[in-house]
Amino acid sequence: MKLPEFRKLPRGPRAFDCYEHHTPIPSPLGEFTLELQMDVDDTTPGQSMIDMAQDLASQFTADVERVTELLFAQYQLASEDPDWLGECGLPPGLSAGQLAPYLHVRALAVSHDKNDQVEPYSARVYICPQWDEEHGLYFKRDSDGWIQVDC
């Protein structure tokens, strides 16, 4: 993977610059964009970020079942409040394989935060499900496997 395979998106309301790979990553949850996210006044993404993105895509593709399990667990939590599901326009009793139509944003993102001294680069799966559009859900791979994280 090389930088010319990514296109810089118009910033719009985002507080960061986003470079999107031209080929989405297919999955049972739908297609995921592959993104490089940079601070507005930062330089363009370097090869190390691109390599991280390629690793993230490979790990996600290999472990998509685990990410699906984590996502489904969040749907099940939301399902404990049937009124909330109704307000969100979600039917109760969905299986993990039925969640894709209710996921509005799907992204594999490598981010650079030059002000973060602890973790300036992060690789995350970001999913914005219909039942949590305000916050979205973030997943990352650590030494123990995939986990949900706050961002």
Question: Would you list the domain boundaries of the chain?
Answer: 3-149
Distance CA 13, CA 2 (A): 27
pLDDT at 84 over 80: yes
pLDDT at 35 over 90: yes
**Percent with pLDDT over 70 in the chain:** 100
**pLDDT for residue 68:** 97
Distance CA 77, CA 7 (A): 37
What pTM does this model have? 0.91
Report whether 123 contacts 52 (CB < 8 A). yes
Report whether 140 contacts 147 (CB < 8 A). yes
Q: Token digits for 13? A: 């309301």
CB atoms within 10 A of CB 110: 25
